[in-house]
Amino acid sequence: MLMQALFTRGGQPIPMRVDKFDYLFTENHTGDFVCNVISDDHAQHMLSTGNFAEYIPPTREELQEREQVRLKEKSNIQTNPKAKIKGK
């Protein structure tokens, strides 16, 4: 089952160990962190944590919305370089 991590670690791959088996969630072409989980038991365990979900690729509309958000954030940083610095 193709699974998605519902959190990120600063753009870095996300390791997950289940029953002595290591999985590595890596960023795909749409920016989601996914991994093929070979065991149904492992997939169910990951689902039960609430931190992972079965991967459903984003629709074209969702990809366009993500791009608009990314461009807006990039524009805000360029016009206000201190915007990402807390307390300033």
The three-state secondary structure class of 34 is strand
Q: Which two tokens stand for residue 34?
A: 């996914």
- Output phi, psi for 64, to 5 deg: -65, -40
**Residue pLDDT tens, the chain, 88 long:** 999 999 999 889 999 999 999 999 999 999 999 999 999 999 999 999 999 999 999 999 999 998 998 888 888 877 776 655 554 4
If you ran DSSP here, which 8-state letter would residue 59 be given? P
Neighbours of 28 (CB within 10 A): 14
Contacts of 46 (CB under 8 A, 6+ apart): 3, 16, 18, 37, 52
* Pairwise CA distance, residues 35 & 55, whole Å: 9
Q: pTM for this one?
A: 0.76
